[in-house]
A = this chain, B = another copy of it.
Amino acid sequence: VTGPGPSSPRTPRLTAARRLVRRSQRDRLDRFLAEGPQAVREALNADTAVHDLFVTATAAARYPELITAAQLDGVPTHVIAESVAADLSETVTPQGIVAVCDSVAVDWPAPDPAAMRLVAVLMQVRDPGNTGTVIRVADAAGADAVVLTAGSVDPHNGKAVRASAGSLFHLPIGTGGDPLAVVEQMRSAGLRVLAADAGGTDLDRLTDAGGLTGPTAWLFGNEAHGLDRAISAAADEVVAVPIHGRAESLNLATAAAVCLYASARAQRAG
């Protein structure tokens, strides 16, 4: 473990890392900050290159296995002051351990959906917490990829990384496609394109009719505005999670959980 210690916290590598709290710099440098023990562990386990590890003394004492793993991988590891940890964090509770990694998302038209059975597409979703949570639930449901269309939040945003709980490193993430082009790409690859939106076919009815057994791309819309009309029109079917009570709607992540798990179950049944 090398590093300037709490009293002289500025080094070129630290200065470079601090830039990555801004999306423009992440895009330019194609790197991001994986913060927290879970993200750091997954980053070290993944194929992603890890360039630096920054840890507070407290975090180093708490997660010695991560320091060891970084050393074994030849990752330069730097002790930083608590105040510096806050500068490397986009969350209100800095976790004291941050890895500088190569970006994991790939530019559209990758990942190629040709052999995929289940894909979650986020259409211009803006909230990083929601985005990370959907990546986590897509991973759990066994989805083959998550696609974020142009205009979506950066999945390397600190809050998205944290909400993904490591899943950002588990499955291919594509970014930047035009929404209609992504729909066409999914359909051309043989996936049925289902737009999750109120007013569509009841999800349970579609499930009972066998409509979820084949390869499927689910489209989920923006938290505030839902899906554009043109997108819903371009989908093979608009599908609504049934609302049995008096709620107006579900939030994005819970709706995605219900839809993706309905697909996972239907694809594995019978």
Binding site for B on A (CB under 8 A): 38, 133, 136-143, 163, 165-167, 170-171, 204, 241-251, 253-258, 261, 264-265, 268-269
**Contact residues in B for A167 (Cβ distance below 8 Å):** 245-247
Roughly how many angstroms separate A137 CA and B248 CA in the complex, as a whole number? 10
B264 touches A141 (CB 8 A): no
Nearest chain B CB to A46 CB, angstrom units: 10
B133 touches A247 (CB 8 A): no
A245 touches B140 (CB 8 A): yes
**Contact residues in B for A253 (Cβ distance below 8 Å):** 133, 251, 253-254, 257
Given A170-B245, A261-B241, the answer on whether A251 and B133 have CB atoms closer than 8 Å is yes
**Contact residues in B for A141 (Cβ distance below 8 Å):** 244-245
Roughly how many angstroms separate A244 CA and B265 CA in the complex, as a whole number? 10
**Contact residues in B for A163 (Cβ distance below 8 Å):** 251
Q: Could you say which of B133, B170, B243 contacts A246, with CB atoms under 8 Å apart?
A: B170
Oligomeric state, in number of copies? 2
- A258: nearest residue on chain B (CB-CB)? B261
Given A258-B257, A261-B258, the answer on whether A250 and B170 have CB atoms closer than 8 Å is no
Given contacts A136-B247, A137-B254, A242-B264, 6 further A-B contacts (CB under 8 A): A139-B245, A140-B245, A141-B245, A170-B245, A171-B246, A258-B261
**Contact residues in B for A250 (Cβ distance below 8 Å):** 136-137, 140, 257
Given A254-B253, A257-B257, A261-B258, the answer on whether A245 and B165 have CB atoms closer than 8 Å is no
Q: Quick one: which of A141, A143, A171, A257 has the most chain B CB within 10 A?
A: A257
Nearest chain B CB to A213 CB, angstrom units: 14
Query: Can you list 21 contacts pairing A with B, beta carbon distance less than 8 Å?
Result: A133-B251, A133-B253, A136-B247, A137-B251, A138-B245, A139-B245, A140-B243, A141-B245, A142-B245, A165-B247, A165-B249, A167-B246, A170-B245, A171-B245, A171-B246, A204-B265, A204-B268, A204-B269, A250-B257, A254-B256, A257-B258
Roughly how many angstroms separate A167 CA and B251 CA in the complex, as a whole number? 12
A136 touches B170 (CB 8 A): no
Nearest chain B CB to A198 CB, angstrom units: 11
Q: Could you say which of B143, B165, B247 contacts A140, with CB atoms under 8 Å apart?
A: B247
**Contact residues in B for A241 (Cβ distance below 8 Å):** 140, 261
**Contact residues in B for A255 (Cβ distance below 8 Å):** 257
